[in-house]
Structure formats: C-alpha cells, structure tokens
Structure 1
Amino acid sequence: MASSTEGIAAPAKFTASLGADNEREWRSFKQQFESYLLASEKDNRPEETKVALLLNIGGEELLQKYNSFEFPVPATGNPNPANVLKDVLAKFDVYFSPRKNELVARYKFRRCVQETNETLETYVTRLKILVKDCNYGNQRDKQLRDQVVFGCTEDKLRQKLFEVEDLTLEKTLDLCVAFQASKRQMDVIKSTPRQTNDSVAKVREKSRREKTTDSRHNADHDGRPRHENNEGRPKSSKPSVPTSKLRPCKFCGEKHEWRKEKCPAHGKKCIKCGNYNHYAVKCKSRKINYVSGNDNDFDVNSSDESECEYLLRPCDTTLEVWTLDTVRPKGKCRLVIRNCKNRKKYNLEFLVVDCKYTPLLSKRTSEQMGLITVNYENISATKDVLDKYDNVFNTDVRTFQNVVRLTIDTNAKPVVIPKCRVPINLKNRVCKKINEMEKQKIIAKVDQPTDWLILNLVNLDDVLICGVGETYEEAVKDHDSRLIKFLERCQAKGIKLNKSKAVLRKSEIAFLGHKITSKGLMADPKRVEAILNMKPPTDVAGAKEFTDMINYL
C-alpha cells in the first residue's frame, strides 16, 4: 500500500547565485526544505540522510559551497558536524547572513516606497522583511506604521490615515486591506460594460408614436371617427398666416404676427433684469458699476442704471503705490462721508480700485476735514533761508580773502612724527581725495624741509546752532536769528557749506559721540551699544580690556 506522503513534491532547486546579497532567497529555500522534511515525514531520518537530501535538492552550487566549509573536529563519541543538518544549516546561515549594518538597514527601510504596479499587501510585506534588521526595538510598530503612510502611492488612503486619531499599526493595516479591496471592486465595476435601457425606451417611444398616428388616422380633427373611405392626413383647423404679415419681434427675437398675444415672450420674466414681457437676449437694460453703502462702509456692485445710488464714472488717472506699482482705477465717484469727531459731513471724490488696499485720504482732504494741521510757516521759513543764502551752499571752494594766522606757543618744539600708515584697501581712495584737495588748493604739497610739518589732517567742520527759549516758538525764533547771523558771516568771509548735510530745526541730533536734545546732553546709543553688550571678562586679558575701557571713559 502506498504511503500518503509520496505525493509531496520537493522544493525547487536553489538557483540564486552564492553571495551575501541572497539572504532572502536562502531564508525562503531553508523554510521550504524544513517544511518538506516535516510534511514528508523525513525529519526522523538519520542526520546524514537529511544532509544528503539538502545537498541533493539544493543543487551543484550549494554542494560546492558545502565542500568549502571547515567544520571543527568532533570529540570522541560525538557525530561529525558535517553530517548534522543543524550544524550544516548554521554554516549556510552565517554565509548568507553576514554581520548586519544597522544604519544601512535603516537607510534601505526609509528608502522603500510603493512601486507603481505594486499592491499594498506586497509593499507591506517588503517593509516587514526590511524592518527586521533595523533594530528598532519597541519602536518597530511605529516606524513600520510611519513608513506605510509615507511610502504608499495612494493619496486618498494617506488622507484617511491622517484623519484617524491614535493611529496604530493594526488600524493602518486594516485600512490598507479595506482600501485595496474597495479599489479592486471599483475596478471590476468600471471594467463591466453598463447596460442601458435605450433600446427599450426607443421601442416604447415608437409604439407610443404608432398608437398616436393610428388614433389620428381613425379620428376626425374634432374627435369623431373617420369613415373608411377618408384617407390621408386631417386638415389643420388653424388658418395659415401669410408670410408678408410675419415681422421680427424686438421682444422675443423671432418672427410672428405683430400682436402681443402671439409673442412667446409676453408675460415671461427676463432673467437679466427681472422685468416682464421680453427675453434676456433682447434685454436693453445696461449693467453698470456703482457704489452703495452708509457713512462708514461702501461696496462696489453692478446693477441696472435705475438702481444705482452713486454712479461710478470712468477715470483716466493712473495711481502709483508705495511699491512703485501702477494701478488703474475702476472709476471715480463722489461720496458723502462724516468726521466721527465733529460729526460734519463732506462730499468728496474717490478713486475706486479693484484691489484690497487700505482707503487713503489726500493731504488736502485731510486738512479740509480737520484731521491734520500743517505748519506751513515753518516750512516756508526754512526754505526761504536756504534760498536767500544759496551762494553759501555753493560747491565751489575758494581761498580766504585775508591771510589766516595761526598762533603757536613759542615754547613748543617741533617733533618728527613718522608718516601715517594707510590700509591697502583705502590707499586709492585716500590718494584720490588728496589729489582732489590739492587741485582745489585746500592743501599744498611740501617738497622742501620745514620746521613744522602737519602729516595728519583733522577735518572737523560740523557746526551746531542752538536756539534757547521758554517755549518752542521762542526757541525756534532764537535759532533762526542765530542761523541767519552765522550764514551772513560765512557769506562775508567766503566760507562754503555742504547743503546735503544741512539739518534744520531738529529737537535732537547726534554730535561727536553724544546726543544733544531739548532735554539735555546724553550719550549716543549707537556708541554705547558695544559697551552695554560687552561680555563679562573670563580671563586676565579680558579683565585688562575691561579696566582700560573704564579708565578711557
């Protein structure tokens, strides 16, 4: 009698090439071989027989690798490891499963994404195999869940997963299975040709038409039955209208008898303007832009001319905003607005633009409404002073009319000072400036020995003019008086000033590291910023630097 295990087929030969990259193929072959031994009841055979089955089924390449293995010499009384299936499989495991690189395994896991024609089940299976070598520990399920969500190609599935609260790996896999199943069902439905009832509808329509035709043939125009000898179509009861009486209608657009009861648009509502007795195609109402609202809020709308509150008139003006972009207004209109403080109303003209900009009022309008006050006397006074002494601010440099004498202490002795070193990146600029000053006869070149030689030029030409008074008006008046006297002196002595540096009527100004204000003298914040932000000293050099700075101050 034949055994029940004779029909069990042996696993396929191990066809993968030998190497460390075929670990997955080896694991699959090993699992199939062990299942074959168990199913065919050959697991109880001697170890040598099982090793022989492995090498026979595995093929020539597996046999050659087996011959290259070096097994330890067995102890006395112990079987040879080369003939023990467990030891032989362990040798192959070591060969096909080299030492794992955790970083490389995690890189492969993170780079694994679903392929174009790959199902979700296959993709999840690949991820489960790759995650085994990543050594995530108790974070394995979370990492696997994240990679399934990030790596899948279905955006709808990803959106559903994002909407689930407290998403776990189990919920993720369940949703993937459900989504894949529903997708397959939809593909089946789309691939099945949809049957229509067009033929049935045509048959019913045809039968209904034939029935109506038969009834017409068998009845007179007033409903009475015809005689059998009356053949042909019944004559129409409506009298025919001559073509000469058909005229184009300005209400419906068709040609008919010139009577309103004959017009199909009579009594119908126009969908464009809402009025009756005409179609929208013949509607003569004109849609225009208009502005509506109250004293505070206004809206730009479109409607019939008869419904407009404030008509939006055309405008050819082009506006330029602070970003230097140009905007063409949609139109202009006059609106009545109210000042919320004095409750007065003003009729003003506005330019309307089709952009979300903050509404603006012009300077003239703001002054008219009492929102701002401009002191034109101060502006005009400053401009008049600069225009009156325009020759003082001329850029032409001239020499003084008289000889200028500098008094030197008779006890002072000349000292030889080495020439000043100029940084290389500033050398060209310094030379250019010196040549320019020499051409303007501000300085002169020394080409012979002298007792005194000035090598360093200190250009300290800033002038401050202050005004003093009990009130602001008195201080401004005193300031202008001193300014005029100073400009007259400069005009008389030929002194030139730089107009670009002129700053007039300021309540505070920075000068030589200080800040001069109406409240007194204080340090310039820009100069003391480095001192305030100075870090506490941590060594001897830092402490010396700190004490030197204190002594300098």
Structure 2
Amino acid sequence: MATFTIPPPPPLDIDSSSLATSFKKFKQAFTNFELATGIATRDNSLRVATLLAVIGQPAVDLYNTFTWADEADAKTYQKVIDQFEVHCKGHANTTYERYIFNTRVQREGESFESFVTSLKSLAETCEFDTLTESLIRDRIILGMKNANIRQRLLREAHLTLTQAITIVRAAEAASAHASEIAKSTMSDISDVHYVKHERQNRQKPAKFKQQQNSKSQICRNCGDKYPHNDHPCPAQGKTCLFCKKQNHFAKVCKTKLKQQAEVNLVEQTTPHSHSQPSLQATQGESNNEDYLFAIGPSEESNQLLKVSVIINDQVKTTAVIDTGTSVNIMSRETLNTICTEQSPLEPTGKQVYAFGANSPIEWSHSATSEHCERAPHDRCYIQCSCSTVVIDEFSDRFVGLGKLAGVTCKLHVDQSVTPVTQPHRRIPFHVRQHVEAELKRLQELAIIEPVHSTPTPWVSPIRVVPKPKQPGKIRICVDMRAVNKAIARERHVTPTIDDILTKLNGATVFTKLDLNSGYHQIELDEASRYLTVFSTIVGLYQYKRLNFGVNSGAEQFQNLIQSALAGLQGVINISDDIVVYAKNQQEHNERLVKCMQRLIEKSLILNGDKCEFNKSSVEFFGHIFSSSGVSPSPTKVQSLIEAPPPSNREEVRSFLGLANYCARFIPNLASLSEPLRDLTRQSVPWSWEERHAKSFNDIKHAIAQHCHMAYFDSRLHSTVVVDASPVGLCAMLVQGSDRSNKIVALASRSLTAVEKRYSQTEREALAVMWGITHFYLYLYGSKFTVITDHKPLVPLFNRSNSSPPARIERWMLHLQQYDFSLEYQPGATNPADYLSRHPLASTSTVEPNEEEHINVIVENAVPKSISMDEIVAATTSDPVLQACIKAVEGIAGTRLHQSCSASKT
C-alpha cells in the first residue's frame, strides 16, 4: 500500500503582533494535521508530545511556564490547548486589530477575492459582533481601487455584504469579457483616425533619444526603477486591475496605454475606398445627419492643433482638432479611460455616421470645448460596439448560475412501474477526491442536495467520466435508464426549420445567446426530486435542478425557455440557444435590450464565452442563416466527395449500394454505374481501368451536384445509419419514410491505432456512439432509430438488464440522454458500409485518455473477491478444465469428449 508523508504545520510565531490570530491559524492547521495522520484518535500523551514537537521552541518555553492545577493536566491535550488559547487571547489588543482592519485597502495588483478574504480574516479579531458584515461592506467600498465600481455600490440604498460582493464580481467579470471582445472585434470603428501622407527618412530629435534612454531605466512591469537590485519585481505574480492579466500593474498596462490614445496616426499609401453616404452641406442644426471625416496637416506644417475639452463637467483633457467634422466623437474605451466616474450615456437624437461605418452612432455624452473661436459643441458622440454596450449594461447576466423564476419542472410518473433501488457502483480510489470535490461544487451551486431520513424507492448509480478537454476534471453521470421507464414524457411543439425560415426572412443582423448550463437553471419540483436520487461514496444525493439523462428533459426545457421568451419580437430559441434577429441595426439593438431585460426578469444567466453579438450570419439549428438566406454547413458532404476509389470487388459493391440509396436524386444512374457493375461479376477479372475511374468520379459528382442534402425537419422521423470497418466509421443521417428517405448529412472518420485493436462488437458500438454524438444538434430531444449491420449489438442496447463490457457500458451511459432504438439491417443493404471502409483521415476520438479507463475495465472484468491464486487452485481441482488442458497439450481431439464424460461420472 502506498504511503504519504504529510508535512507538519509551521511553528507558532510567539512574537507576532497579532498573537491571537496567529494561534488561531496554527490551531486550525494542527487540527487538520492530526486528522490527516490519525493522531487525533490516539492517547493524550502522544497528542501533546506531537503538539510540542511542531509548535516551535519559543512556544515550548512558554509551555514550561504554565501552572497546572493537576500534574495530569500537563499531558491532557485539551487542557494544554486551553492554556495556550488563554495566553494568546490575553495579548490581543482590540483597538490595534480594528486599526489594522480600518486601514486595509486593496493593494496594487491584488485581486478582489484576496481583498475580501483578508477583510473577513481581520474582522474575526475585532469583536464587531452584529456589525461585522456591515463594517466589512463599508471597508470594501472605501478600500477598493476601482472608482467606477465604488460609485456603483454607493448608488444602492440598502446594500448588503452579499450584494456588494456579487456586484463587484460581476463588474470584474464583465470588464474581463469586454477587454477580450474589444481585442477580437477588429471591424468596430473605435477611434478617430487621423490620416497623413507617408514621410520618408524622418530623423528623431536628440531630445527624443534622450527620453528613450531615460525610459529604458524604468521597469515595464511595475513602473519603478530598473534593475530592482536584490529584490524581485513587485509586480511578479500580481494581477493587473485593468486587463486582468498577470505580472504587471495597471499603471504600465499596455492595453490601457493603447486605449488612451485619442487619435491614431494612420500611414496612408493608397487612397481610401470606403463607400459613404452622400454628403449634403447645410448650415445650422436643421440637418439631422452628420458625417465624420479626418483631415491631416499640410506638408508645410506638422503641428497638431489641440483644444481643451471638459467631459461630464468634471474631467479636463486635451484633444486634436479635426476641422473637417461637424461633431465630436470618441470611443467608449477612451471615455472609460478619461472618466473614472461617469454618468449614463444618452441617446443621440440624430443620425451621426463615423467614417467607414454603415450604421449611425446611438449614444452621446456631455462635453464642452474651450478656447475655440467657433461655437463649441456641448455633446460628444460615443462610438462603441454592440457587445460592449450589452456587457456593460447587463454585466450581471454573465456571472454565476441562474434559476428560472416562477416555474418548476415536474416529472410525471407511471405508478404501474415498480421502483428500483440499484446497487452502488464502486469508484476507483484515485478519483474519489475528484468525485467529492465535484459533489461539493454542485451542492454549493444548489444543483444537488444530500438525502437524509427520507424514503428512497428510486436509487440510481453513477459513473465517473473524465472530461477530455480538461485534464484532472471529471463528470458525474447518473444512470437514469431504469427511472426513465417510469417517467411519462410531455409532448410539446418544437419549432421546425420552416418556422425559423419564415421568421428570419429579411433579417440582416443577428446575435446568438447561450444559456450557461441551461438544464441546471430549471428548478426541479420538490415532489419529483426523489426520482433523481443517486448513490455516491459519501451518501445519497438528489437533484434540485433538472438533470441530464431524464428522457423528458429536452422537451420540458424547450417549452419552459420558449414560454419565458414569449411575446418578444425577433427572438427565437432552440434548447439553450437564443437568436435575436432584425432587419437593421437599430431594430436589432432595441430587440436585444428587451431580450436582456426579459432574462433579468426571469433570472436567467448567459455564458459570455459562447455568445455572438451583432453578426451578419449565424450558425443555428445546423444551418447558416444570413441576409442572403439559409445554407447548409459546408462540411456536410465532405465525407462523400473525398472518398477514395475502391480497391477490390467488395468495395465496389459497397459504393454502388451508396449510389443506389441516392438513386431517386441522380438522373441516368444506371448508365453511369454500368462499368462498375461489370466489376462486381465473378466472371469478370478484377482490373481497375480508366473507364471505371471515370464512372466512379461521375457518380460522385452527380451525388454532390444533384443529391442535395435535405433540410432537417424536426417533424419527420430521423434515422442514423452507422457502420464500422477495421479501418473506419461512418454515419448517415436520413429522414422520411422507407420509400422517401432523404439524406440530411454524411460523416465518416478513421480509427486510431488503439481503436483498430477493438473487437468488432466494440467497433460497431463505437460507431453508434460516435454517429449519435456527431449528429447531436439533429437528434437531441427527439425519438429516433439507429440502424447497424452487427446483430449482436441489438440486445446489448435494447435490453436494460444486459451486461455489456465496461467500455460499451460507458458509451451507453453517455447515450442515455438520447431516446432511440437500435435495429438490425444486413450489411449488403447498409448505405453506410462504403464510407466506413473509406473514412477520412481523422485524429479525433471519443477516448483521448485511454489509460484512465484501464482500472475500470480491470475492475469489471474480474470479480474483486477472487485472487489469482484462487483461480489457479480452482482450475487445478476442476476435472473438465484439466481434461481441456491435456487435450491442448497433445491428447487427441477425439478423446476430449470421452475424458469430459468420464470426469463428470
């Protein structure tokens, strides 16, 4: 058995200025050390000896000065701890502790979480009693560095500590998201561009070179002098409060300095080709459309004309005059940099177009120009992207996990089905700590809750699966197959592709929103939670939110979200994807704001990383929608077009089977395929010639040109045809009746070196697993059929009491969220057979961490109560097995039956 060396806690600092706090931390660390090493259950003398061994010599000297009422108390652990505690508390100075607390501020580069944790720790020794939370809240407001967030907190009339922490976390997350989006949005026109002609051979003045030399002595990470002599850079390991990246301070942040540039000098070598609206020169304010251009200085003068600008009647800054524009304009990022405390933006009230922009600017801010001979402007127009406005205004919609307000999901039970309490499945020791951590996380998010003193007629086991893209992380899957037999499904109408096409007709601007952990934002009715009880290594738990694996979950989730968004113009959803669409930018922005307001009313949270704002096209429901219409994904027919030529007679038959499956879509197929059909005859010698290659290519071209992939229609029954060969997998999604099946999508891939060593049954099961998950967007939430040409696979999937191998069982658990039946069809009539034998090269696999499952396979392959010695002994004493061994070693095969019969008698 492996042993672990657990280090003891650091010694107690007797000379600490806050001795009470130091002892409290030491006591906590020593208690954990005792529990981890098992010393907590030993006798008092050993515990005291261990305490004195790790507490440090100064503390041992203090122990020797203690006076004991009884000599035995000196060897009693609790008495010794009490003596230390009395001594340390006696040195605590409440006034000093409160001074430390009241002078604590957020340090440069310190994260908000670290700041709050420090305040809570300091408050424990201040004896604030009932005022603790309110004083921590006040210290957060007074001590934080971000003035914008401070102003936001001060606007709240009855602000609690929990609300303050939530607002600050949301603001920090929104700032980080906005920075990332701003970097990736290259098309957004954010600044005023100053244009000048390229000048050659410009020499830098000596003064500028001297400034460069002086700056070279400044550290680019912290802003102090460089080098730092004997100490490391203070910015090392710290987080920038502006861009949220590490190892530098905000005052030298490159992103911040870049955004502070109010005018970008653009070197121009070719004329601009931007198309602009026609310019109408009129006087006064009667014109409701203004256009912003840029004019550079003449060749004779390089001096930039500047003017002072007062923004929001508070902040004074300098800006370059552009004499060719009728309005003032700046980017939202520049405004945020200049004004730390801002008033809300106001609508423009007129149409103002930035240079190169097709949509007008919609927001303005108070700004007054000074020292200008012409009449000064009192407004400054703010150019900002749609995503920036949404994230800033609705920052709380991108943090945490929401819960749909006002409704719960109820599961309907067929009472005629007898409840089943399934046995607990043991979890490997090396992943148990990960399971406990995941259970704790789900419990903290109020997704699950422990079950105590409550009857549990339904108990389901769990299976732990590692997350492929997150090493060290696991996913807990509840096997709901038995429970699903008792759950009656609700039937709700799901939008079809025709509904979407009708609604999106004419739309030019799109935004796609993604609900964060959509299922877990639906509260499960208390009367239905007992159906989700599952057993773990630390007890029974049940879901408080809708969980994956419930057969009626997809339909109920779609209905609840659709109802929550009902009444909104230009908003549709399929499952957890929400699309906002409009005919123009202004209408799109209005609809998006109303949608975000509805999400606030319904307490729903979005996943900012998966949201797409203000796009000209969007992929939704397996199609690409744009202003020009709808088109299928370009990769749909890739498998068919790139299939290589056949190399033997059997492969020709497979290809012709695929072609015949598409016969109703290909004109003159009989003529095109005649050379290939000749090769299938046994009387014709195999010889791949030019005419065969031409026939093969003509058929592929005809399939690609005429056998169009049909639009997916959720009203039709779906069928997935899968097949596995020794070299690859293939899946084909078709819809319709037996006589009018239409291909919706094709896919194939090659097997990895490990997968090629699978048994044929496992390869066929892998084809089922991969085919269904590949067509997830089309199949999830509906009942469909899977066709295979491997007959032994059918009972493994269709019977709930089957005992498949561990690998196949793991795939079946993953597929339990789908509602499908497996049917057998001979390979000669299976249209997927050819593509499985000619897969596209692929490195993808459903098992990237094969080694992590070896223990699971071994555990399920051999009963844990049988050792290898017992197997050897049992084999030796078994007469039938001994007869088999002798037969293998050389006894004639004809005597095997006689030997077995004699041994039984």
TM-score (norm 1): 0.32
Higher relative contact order (CA 8 A, sep 6+): 2
Richer in strand (by share): 2
Considering only CA atoms, is the larger Rg found in Structure 1 or Structure 2? 1
